[in-house]
């Protein structure tokens, strides 16, 4: 249940930023969550509902961008979509891969008032 | 950040050092006035930014003091503490060690390490499922590892959550045992992906369990082709020399002018 820690970190980042902007309310938050980022979305949603209570994010609309996994094969240098960490390169069948996208976990922007 | 480890809030995370008491608390207060203009704010900040900053701070401290910090991760019961007990005893006098133990409850593991004569601090995470860089920072402040020493950080037994949290370690060592399934690297790929060494423990039990050694190695390499693998048994000592050689090869000899 590390999703609760992640939600609490998001709340911290968002509130600190909103306070810096002298805002009272966060109306919207945009978050990138890569599909390979080890966040289980059901656990994340559950943690979110509980954790945002009585914070500036309580009524915020949540926009989540899921970013698909993408890898580069260091054998044949092709880029390909990666669904699981153990997927093989579709060209050479090897597992000599480097992940280039899909591990993102970041707060992109807020709308505050 | 304190919300992540609960260190200030309700004292859910506690540190125990045999023969030592350590307390700390710090609160957060935010005052602000309100001004109600709707505004888009670019944040562009990694969610684990605060943890990663503290991890880098730990890493800088370890580098400056030439401390080899290793984060040991595994599911519960794969033999992390047994491996440490054996290592601390066998290499006594050759390398200098200290240990940070992470568990939800009890000081049992710290007591076992303490019995080997090694400096140890126990972190109890309460309900927490992983150690984070903030907890390690406080533990390091308490234990003050010596220069040129090896610091073992035994994480909470959990193959999922600790994968996300950088503690500032030099290397991450994942341990599995032959009593677990040989598909474990595929079922819990993130931990194998983020580790640099995989220890396969309890090889003395191989005749009694349906564990395919070649298959587990192939599975682990599918997830992380750079992963080094060492098979060993803490019970009969088989393979321990390879682990000790690996350890010694990672200890940097301090530069002399």
Q: Where are the domains of chain A?
A: 3-72+103-112
Q: Are B125 and B135 in contact (CB under 8 A)?
A: yes
- Is B190 in contact with A88 (Cβ distance < 8 A)? no
Interchain CB distance below 8 Å, A112 and B34:
no
B248 — pLDDT class (breaks 50, 70, 90): very high
CATH of the domain at B168: 3.40.50.300
What distance separates the 2 farthest-apart alpha carbons in chain B? 71
At the top level of CATH, the class of A3-72+103-112 is alpha beta
- Buried/exposed code over B134-158 (b: 16+ C-beta within 10 A; e: otherwise): bbbbbbbebbebeeebbbbbbbbbb
pLDDT given for residue B15 in this prediction: 80
Cβ contacts (< 8 Å) between A18 and chain B: which residues?
41
Assigned domain for B214 exists:
yes
B128 neighbourhood in chain A, CB within 8 Å:
5
- Please list the residues that pair with A32 across neighbouring strands: A65, A106
Interatomic CA distance for residues B204 and B234, integer angstroms = 9
Mean pLDDT of chain B: 89
Establish if B64 belongs to a structural domain: yes
B79 occurs within a structural domain? yes
B128 within some domain: yes
State whether A95 and B222 contact (CB < 8 Å): yes
How many domains, chain B?
1
The tokens for B241 are 């020399």
With cut-offs at 50, 70 and 90, classify the pLDDT of residue A18.
very high
Model confidence at A109: pLDDT above 60 = yes
pLDDT over 50 at A95, yes or no: yes
- A interface with B, Cβ–Cβ < 8 A, is 1-2, 5-6, 8-15, 17-19, 21-24, 27, 31, 38, 84-86, 88, 94-97, 105-113
Distance from CA of B134 to the nearest CA of A (A): 12
Outline where DSSP puts E strands in B160-237: 171-177, 197-201, 228-231
Query: E strands along chain A, which residues?
Result: 26-34, 61-67, 70-73, 79-81, 97-101, 105-112
Residue with more model confidence, B56 or B1: B56
Helix then strand then coil, in percent of chain B rounded to 5, is 35, 20, 45
Gap from A32 CA to chain B (nearest CA, Å): 9
User: A33 CB contacts (<8 Å, ≥6 apart)?
Assistant: A39, A41, A44, A64, A65, A66, A67, A104, A105
Specify the residue for token string 């503490």: B81
Q: Identify the domain containing residue B127 by its residue range.
A: 2-17+47-250
Phi-psi region of A80 (alpha: psi -120 to 50; beta: other; left: phi over 0): beta
Render pLDDT for B18-56 as a digit per residue (tens, 0 to 9).
655 545 555 556 555 555 688 999 999 999 999 999 999
- Both structure tokens of B138: 């406080």
Q: Which residues in chain B are contacts of A9 at CB distance < 8 A?
A: 1, 3-4, 47-51
B193 with A111: Cβ contact below 8 A: no
Considering only CA atoms, give the Rg of chain B: 20
- Chain A residue numbers with beta carbons less than 8 Å from the beta carbon of B190 are 38, 85
Using CB atoms, which residue from B36, B130, B223 is nearest to A86? B223
Residue among B166, B210, B161 at smallest CA distance from B62: B166
Residues of B in contact with A88 (CB under 8 A): 222
Establish if B41 belongs to a structural domain: no
- Give the model's pLDDT for residue B19: 55
Residue A70, Cβ density class (10 Å: 0-12 exposed, 13-18 middle, ≥19 buried) = middle
Between CA B25 and CA A38, with CA A18 as vertex, the angle to 5 degrees is 75
List pLDDT tens digits, range B81-134: 999 999 999 999 999 999 999 999 999 999 999 999 999 999 999 988 999 999
**Cβ-Cβ contacts under 8 Å, B47 against chain A:** 6, 9-10, 13, 31, 105-107
Indicate yes or no: CB of A109 within 8 angstroms of CB of B40.
yes
d(C-alpha B33, C-alpha B14), whole Å? 36
Domain for residue B75, yes or no? Answer: yes
Report pLDDT for B218.
Answer: 97
> How large is the ipTM?
0.87
């Amino acid at each position: 249940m590390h999703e609760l820690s992640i939600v609490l970190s998001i709340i911290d980042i968002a509130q600190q930023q909103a306070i810096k902007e002298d805002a009272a309310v966060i109306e919207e938050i945009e978050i990138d969550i890569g599909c390979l980022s080890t966040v289980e979305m059901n656990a994340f949603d559950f943690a979110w509902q509980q954790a945002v209570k009585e914070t500036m994010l309580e009524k915020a609309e949540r926009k989540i961008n899921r970013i698909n996994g993408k890898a580069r094969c260091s054998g044949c240098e092709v880029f390909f979509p990666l669904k699981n960490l153990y997927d093989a390169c579709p060209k050479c069948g090897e597992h000599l891969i480097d992940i280039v996208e899909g591990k993102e976990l970041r707060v992109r922007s807020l709308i505050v008032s | 950040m304190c919300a992540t480890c609960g260190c200030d809030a309700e004292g859910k995370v506690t540190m125990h050092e045999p023969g030592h008491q350590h307390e700390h608390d710090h609160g957060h207060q935010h005052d602000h006035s309100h001004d109600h203009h709707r505004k888009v704010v670019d944040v562009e900040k990694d969610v684990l930014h605060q943890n990663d900053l503290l991890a880098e701070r730990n890493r800088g401290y370890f580098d400056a003091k030439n401390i080899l910090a290793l984060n040991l991760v595994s599911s519960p019961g794969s033999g992390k503490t047994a491996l440490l007990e054996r290592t601390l005893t066998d290499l006594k006098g050759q390398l200098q060690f200290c240990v940070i133990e992470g568990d939800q409850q009890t000081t049992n593991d710290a007591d076992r390490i303490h019995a080997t004569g090694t400096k140890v601090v126990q972190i109890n995470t309460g309900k927490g499922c992983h150690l984070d860089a903030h907890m390690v920072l406080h533990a390091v402040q308490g234990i003050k590892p010596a220069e040129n020493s090896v610091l073992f950080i035994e994480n909470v037994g959990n193959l999922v959550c600790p994968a996300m949290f950088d503690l500032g370690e030099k290397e991450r060592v994942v341990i599995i045992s032959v009593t677990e399934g040989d598909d474990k690297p595929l079922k819990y790929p993130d931990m194998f992906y983020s580790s640099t060494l995989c220890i396969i423990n309890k090889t003395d039990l191989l005749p009694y369990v349906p564990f395919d050694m070649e298959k587990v190695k192939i599975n682990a390499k599918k997830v992380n082709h750079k992963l080094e693998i060492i098979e060993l048994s803490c019970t009969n000592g088989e393979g321990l020399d390879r682990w000790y050689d690996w350890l010694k090869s990672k200890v940097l000899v301090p530069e002399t002018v």
